Chains A and B, each alone.
Chain A
Amino acid sequence: MLRKGITESFGAAIHALGSSQLTDGVINRSKRMMLDTLGVGLLGTRTAVFNKALKYSQSFSADQRSSVWGRSNVTLPPHFAAFVNGIAVHSMDFDDTWHPATHPSGAVLPALLALAETMPSRPTGLDLLLAFNVGIEVQGRLMRFSREAYNIPERFHPPSVVGVMGSAAASAKLLGLSPAQCRHALAIAASSAGAPLANAATQTKPLHIGNAARRGLEAAQLAQIGLEGNQAVLDMCSGFGVYYKDYSPSAMAHSSSSAFKWILEEQDVAFKRIPAHLAMHWVVDASLAARRKLQSKEGSFDVSRISRVTLHVPPSKYINCPFPASEHQARHSFQFNAGSALLDDKVTVASYHPAQINRSALKELLSKVEVRTPEDNRPNFDHMYCEVEIETAQGLSCTARCNTFYGHWRKPLSQEDLLDKFQMNASSVLCTEGVEGLMHVVGNIEKITDCSALYSFLRHTSSCSEEELCDYAIRTS
């Protein structure tokens, strides 16, 4: 077994990376990621899956407790706080997406916040930001070890593969582990990686992120008390390589060398405007554009006149769902998202409510939707497009194409729109003080020495919103 020193280089980098290496570009981008993740997570605490996980987690007790986002009177053992908060983040498929494809922040931030709350010497905002970026960076590096990772997945759900490694790396960083311990944290985490894609588009998908967060944290803590794994886990095909069909790892440059560059500096993330699989964003933008075209041609828009809708999309089975039966399936359905956009002239958080999914007008429209997968439309978030063609009974036809949706890394959300999204999400659970407090703390996190305000804002619920939460969860479970 050839040891190429790759795992070693990762251990060294995780240990040695310092806040002085954080560039302005990276600080900026990662703060946006943190804010978006918190907002999305807060909104997610209203979901049925979150409430099931919370109920389950409450059967555990511990001396150490960490905050549950959006709950003023509930705390959990740190691992379970990381678990449920991670689930909240991914519960509505509303969290950030990167290229190669994964949801990087949800696997890392919940673990870090839960851990930080229990550390005897409280980390500063800059410590948190650094650890967060280490967790993101490790994920980005790992995905570049295979060509398979660049395309929309078919086998393992990427957050379950790289997410747990990122969480382990970030937690190891915050704990200040030695290079050897950092290596072992990665090795231990590797044995907790890998969930099959079949659970995407189901209620269990969010647990992939929740588990990535908690088990990465666990791996770092086990490494801290001396548990050892395979020190060359990243070097070996029978190590981290098992999750990929092609695997070609390379070492990380030394953090202090000029060769070191954060991936986030060169490759931004996408923030979602709608709580659905990333590919849906192309579909929605194209559908809305086609609808506008038809409306201007005909003077008005009448959905009953539509005879056929053809979607030209990349091939990917798990997001090809003609008649979704649940909100989870609806978030993973080309057809549903096109149909909703055409019917309502918008797609929002409310579009995935069971009542909305079951509308007969929508179902009728869905029966007219066809999906085509052109050869040149690659299942890859950097290259795909969506073309929507609407045909009317009168013989009229309108086509619109979306190459880059608004929110994609090539066309990032403006700061104003990102803050708007956060405010909308966070205020569903927190009072104004909490919402604005979080915006302020995260916006200035690199300058903040005491992060306890962060936790108290995360729990600044409005008095009646918690009762509402329970009601909502019961009604939709």
Chain B
Amino acid sequence: MLSTLQKSLKAGQAVRGLHKSAVGVLKRPTPEDTVTSSFGKFISEIKPQHLSPVVLHRSKRMVLDSIGVGLIGSTTEVFQLVLQHCQHMYAPDNISFVYGRRGTKLSPTLASFVNGVATHSMDFDDTWHPATHPSGAVLPAVLALSDMIPAHSKPSGLDFLLAFNVGVEIQGRLMRFSNEAHNIPKRFHPPSVVGTMGSAAACARLLSLDPSQCSHALSIAASLAGAPMANAATQSKPLHIGNASRLGLEAALLASRGLEASPLVLDSVEGVAGFSAFYEDYVPQPLESPSDNGHVFLLEEQDMGFKRFPAHLGMHWVVDAAASVHEVLVGVDAGKVSPSQVQDILLRVPKSKYINRPFPESEHEARHSFQFNACSALLDGEVTVQSFSEAAMNRPELLALLSRVRLEHPHDNPANFNLMYGEVQVTLAGGDILKGRCDTFYGHWRNPLTNESLRKKFRYNAGAVLPSERVEQLIEVVEDLDRHENCRVLLSQLQ
């Protein structure tokens, strides 16, 4: 692994020949030359008018989905646990709201922590390409910070959306610095790497920090980034998003107080790793300054994936494939699907250790199991929030099917959310073979959820904890957010 890393660094330096001399240790680069400063400048200088209609539209969908997912996430055990922790450690500071807890307040960083945990608690939140969960790391921090800003200087709805989009944009840009980031992760959980940076950027934007402070916010955040994949599929995974949100906010707040850090954290410096520490290959690119021609946000070119059920994105392919087989089975033998019909289940999926679990033992593991999701979909024709309840998980029919599952990893099925597919092949008792295949599940960025489907998901989620009038008001407020003079209209619905 060492030699690969060194090779890549050398290649990176050659490619960036233009900047090579600037980045040498003996000659210090002028601030204008560095990747890091270009990021600081961008965050500081981007304006609301740079948000195109497409970006506004897509990001509002993200805001809505994220709030809904956070609200339903406030019913989970991990959320209760961290909330209890924060309230025990710190007296209520009556500043920032907490999802699903009317009247409960926490200090801004802790509110962003628990709300971030809520958002990722059921793996129900949005997913992008390259892979990360962008909104959960950014929205809770921007909301908490907005709560913190005094009434007379609250950001407008458009400022709010701008900060949110900056947070998402920075994440997208950073992930494009490495090939490693384009595939399903193996080492660091991406939200813990880029999410922290995105949160710092968004908060720096909302606080109107100057370019230098924005750069320092990113750099301080880098020292707070990075959590290993091993904690995915455990109860601690949601904390990766919670911490990304809170620590990014903290980094921005510290930068606003004058704390300084490395001015080269995003740049590639041989022998001294900055943000590059989290990747095996790393080739950073500067961000152009937003000009009168406007800035093309990545969200314009690459839409977001929203989940239809609370499980790892990879599950959505096998579920859609398995559901189509279920349709046929039910057609053949009207009514329920029974294990006795099934002799063998073969799943053709990409190779990824942490989502290959033949017999998951917890809801967290079940959300990260090709086998579990395929079998649930085979049995029920769909996977829903309820599929991960203890009762549903322990059904004898389900366990019977699980024992008949095999996995194959075809060479043409890469561990990449833009290229993978899911195939389910069921051999029936009589010897007949049924096949289902999904290349693009409904909700993927190539086949986005309709506004109606997105709202249906939101109504279900938010309705778990809010009365229906509030639910409808939230939908309306987010839809009109860019036209509101004051983001209080959104905040007041969530208090």
Contacts and interface: CB of A to CB of B under 8 A. Distances in A.
Interface stretch (A56-64, A133-141, A270-278): A56-64
Contact of A154 (B107, B219, B239, B271): B271
B258 A477 contact: yes
B276 interface: yes
Interface in A219-261: 221-222, 225-230, 232-233, 236, 238-243, 245-246
A32 to B, nearest CB: 29
A230 B230 CA distance: 6
A315 to B, nearest CB: 8
B107 A192 contact: no
A396 B257 CA distance: 51
Interface stretch (B220-228, B383-391, B415-423, B452-460): B220-228
Interface stretch (B59-67, B85-93, B171-179): B85-93
Contacts of B269: 198, 317
B233 to A, nearest CB: 8
B291 interface: no
B240 interface: yes
Interface string B223-259: 1111111110011100110010000001001100111
Given A52-B254, A52-B258, A61-B90, A191 B270 contact: no
B362 to A, nearest CB: 9
A132 to B, nearest CB: 22
B354 interface: yes
Contacts of A477: 258
Contacts of A317: 25, 269-272
A155 B273 contact: yes
Given A196-B223, A227-B235, A245-B5, A61 B271 contact: no
Contacts of B253: 56
Interface stretch (B155-163, B260-268, B294-302): B260-268
A448 interface: no
- Size class of A's contact patch? 35 or more
B272 A222 contact: no
B274 interface: yes
Contacts of A195: 222-226
Contact of A160 (B223, B230, B240, B278): B223
A444 interface: no
A463 interface: no
Interface in A45-96: 49, 52-53, 55-56, 59-64, 77-79
A156 B222 CA distance: 11
B236 A207 contact: no
Nearest to B263: A202
A233 B273 contact: no
A196 B273 CA distance: 6
B222 A322 contact: no
B354 A238 contact: yes
A273 to B, nearest CB: 26
Give the most central of B78, B188, B234: most A CB within 10 Å.
Answer: B234
Contact of B234 (A62, A187, A208, A241): A187
A170 interface: no
Contacts of B2: 148, 245-246
Give the most central of B5, B91, B231, B278: most A CB within 10 Å.
Answer: B231
B398 to A, nearest CB: 23
B234 A229 contact: yes
B277 interface: yes
A400 to B, nearest CB: 26
B84 interface: yes
A52 B222 contact: no
B223 A208 contact: yes
B181 to A, nearest CB: 15
Contacts of B274: 196-199
Top 8 A-B residue pairs of the complex, sorted by shortest distance between their CB atoms? A317-B271, A198-B274, A239-B230, A191-B227, A204-B261, A195-B223, A229-B236, A194-B226
Interface of B: 1-2, 5, 25-26, 78, 81-82, 84-85, 88-91, 93, 107, 186-189, 192, 219-220, 222-231, 234-236, 239-240, 243, 250, 253-254, 257-262, 264-265, 269-278, 353-354
25 contacts: A52-B259, A60-B107, A77-B90, A78-B89, A79-B89, A155-B273, A187-B236, A188-B231, A190-B231, A191-B227, A191-B239, A195-B222, A198-B222, A198-B264, A199-B223, A207-B220, A207-B259, A208-B223, A211-B224, A221-B85, A236-B230, A238-B186, A238-B354, A245-B2, A316-B271
